[in-house]
Amino acid sequence: MPNRGYFIVFEGVDGSGKSTQIELLSEKLRKAGVDHIIEREPSSGAIGRLIRQYAEAGERYMAAETEALLFNADRFEHARRIETYLNEGITIICDRFFHSTLAYQGGSGVDLSWLKSLQRFTLKPDLVILLDIDPDASLIRVSGRSLTVFENNIYLRKVRKLYLQFAEAGEMIRVDTNRTVDEVESDVRRLVSDLMKVDL
């Protein structure tokens, strides 16, 4: 029976550098011989594809509570797949998990205690890294592509405020991304190395 894999999640608003840091970490893990898979939410499953279509439609026509329920339905199915991989000794690097629902739908005014109750039985990551950036800077970074319904400055400031509260509560570790990619990567590599007890 292989040792259980590690479950590592990256959180942050779009433009915070999640994709870049996940790819850099993946390369380090590959060189270290760590078997791993990159996942993301919304997932590639049927519910996840529906959410992506909605997010990219340009109009936020669902109630935030409905959004939260869709994200959690997608996560229920996704977490089952992740659990299978972890039990096979495969490490999972995930772009977003349940804190995204807490931050984004919480930022829309949905009751946090209700949102947290929906996560009661979901997987708990071994490490959650918050790539923190000011929304002004994040929106500049993503200005070259079509924005989703979740990307506007006022809203993202509410989202970021919640993320920072979660970091202050010890639920995730904040990494400042208002620095060079190499500086951020160094912090991420140190956090993952400490968790996995491997030299990356």
CATH code, domain carrying 55: 3.40.50.300
Report the phi/psi class of residue 33: left, alpha or beta, with left for phi > 0 and alpha for psi in -120 to 50.
left
- Asked if the structure places residue 52 within a domain, the reply is yes
- Asked if the structure places residue 188 within a domain, the reply is yes
- Asked if the structure places residue 102 within a domain, the reply is yes
Residue 134 and residue 16 in contact, taking contact as beta carbons nearer than 8 Å: no
In terms of pTM, does the model score above 0.85? yes
pLDDT digits over 39-70, tens only? 999 999 999 999 999 988 878 889 999 999 99
Residue 168 CB coordination number (10 Å) = 10
- Asked if the structure places residue 137 within a domain, the reply is yes
Tokens 């000794």 found at: 89
Name the domain count of the chain: 1
Pairing outcome for strands 7-11 and 91-95: parallel
- Asked if the structure places residue 126 within a domain, the reply is yes
pLDDT digits over 19-30, tens only? 999 999 999 999
Q: Which domain holds residue 79?
A: 7-196
